Structure 1
Amino acid sequence: MDGLFPRERAVVAPGAVHVPGWLPAARQRELVAACREWGRGPVPYRHIVLPGGGVMSVQSLGLGRRWEPYRYGRDVDVELPDWLVALGRRAVAEAYGEHSGYAPDAAFVNYYDAGAGASMGMHQDKDERTDAPVVSLSLGDTCVFRFGNTETRGKPYTDVELVSGDLFVFGGASRFAYHGVPKVHAGTAPPGLGLRGRLNITLRETGM
Structure 2
Amino acid sequence: MQPASKHTNIAMGIDIHFVTIPPSPAPIPIPHPFIGMIFDPMDYIPVIGTNVYVNNQKRANAGTMATLGTIKHFPLGAGFYPATMPLIDHEGLHFFGSKTVEVDSSYFSVASYNMMTCSCIGIPLGSPNMYTPTTTTIPIPAGPPVIVGGPQVPDLMGVVMKLAMLGGLKFLMKFGGKTFKKLAKKLKKGCNCPS
> What is the TM-score normalised by the length of structure 1?
0.23
Comparing both structures, which one devotes a greater share of its residues to helix?
2
Return the TM-score normalized by structure 2: 0.24
Greater Cα radius of gyration, structure 1 or 2? 2
